[in-house]
Amino acid sequence: MSRHVLITGASRGIGAAVANHFVAQGDVVVALSRSGDAPEGCAMSLSVDVASSASVAGAVKTAIDAHGPVDVLVANAGITRDGLAMRMSDEQWRDVLSTNLDGAFYSARAVLSSMIRARSGRIVFMGSVSPFYGVPGQANYAAAKAGMVGLARSLAREVASRGITVNVIAPGFIDTEMTAGLGATSDDMTALIPMGRMGTTADIAAIVGFVASDAAGYLTGQVIAVDGGLAMGL
């Protein structure tokens, strides 16, 4: 049976690959992003700023009015505004916290009542290995992604009895626009990955697909690193 899958940050990169995965399964995919772009086959695409509670609430209402209760949320939208902590501006700090952490919370909160009524649901947050590994220049990003783990685990306990699972996927170093243009840093990072390559967006989409599947009904409150071994043991 096809499910209603809502994905934030679905216009490109990991979110677009996740959208393609669910579209290929025959699911009804609603893609949210600032640009409103979406991969082919999505049932609906909406322009939203996840850092705005009202924007997220409005988009989720539109999606539910059109396609019914949300079965799967993939809260994936994210940005980087890198800089050494000593020189990081208030704006760099706030922008990343607002989009990456506030946005994840607003998205989850907006779908919860429909999932609770349905007594089932899958919430998948797109985290990162960065809070476990520590990345110079990414204090804002790592803090936001660490906060996401606390959000996910608290939420997981709140809604487990309603048949809703909440998990975090923690990608390592994935080939997208976010990591493009890192030049020599990219080679240095790749050298640290036991599997010897950057991850692909399809590597991440496959694991998101599993976590959102019926087969993963007993998996909740977990952080699943998909990183070619980069952060193993952390």
Here the contacts of 149-156 (C-beta below 8 Å, separation 24 or greater) are 149/223, 151/101, 151/104, 151/105, 151/108, 151/125, 152/123, 152/125, 152/127, 152/221, 152/223, 153/221, 155/108, 155/123, 156/220, 156/221
Among 3, 4, 5, 14, binds ligand NDP (CB under 6 A): 14
CA nearest neighbour of 171 among 191, 192, 145: 145
Give the x/- contact pattern for ligand NDP in 35-54, rule: CB under 6 A.
Answer: x-x----------xxxx---
Reading the block at residue 171, the tokens are 């990608």
CA nearest neighbour of 32 among 128, 99, 94, 115: 99
- For residues 65 and 177, which CB has a smaller minimum distance to ligand NDP in the complex? 177
Q: Tell me if 13 contacts ligand NDP by CB under 6 A.
A: yes
Minimum distance between the CB of residue 137 and ligand NDP, rounded to whole angstroms? 14
Q: Tell me if 63 contacts ligand NDP by CB under 6 A.
A: no
Residue 231 vs residues 11, 135, 192: alpha-carbon distances, Å: 28, 12, 9
State the distance between the two ends of the chain, measured CA to CA, in whole angstroms.
38
**Residues in 160-179 that interact with ligand NDP by CB under 6 A:** 171, 173-174, 176-179
**Residues in 121-150 that interact with ligand NDP by CB under 6 A:** 126, 128
Give the x/- contact pattern for ligand NDP in 82-101, rule: CB under 6 A.
Answer: -----------------x--
Q: Which amino acid is at 201?
A: T
Q: Tell me if 11 contacts ligand NDP by CB under 6 A.
A: yes
CA distance 228 to 121: 28
**Residues in 66-85 that interact with ligand NDP by CB under 6 A:** 76-79
Catalytic residue flag (residue 218):
no
- For residues 8 and 217, which CB has a smaller minimum distance to ligand NDP in the complex? 8
Q: Tell me if 19 contacts ligand NDP by CB under 6 A.
A: no
- For ligand NDP, the binding residues (CB under 6 A) are 8-15, 33-35, 37, 48-51, 76-79, 99, 126, 128, 171, 173-174, 176-179
Question: Which residues are part of the catalytic machinery?
Answer: 141
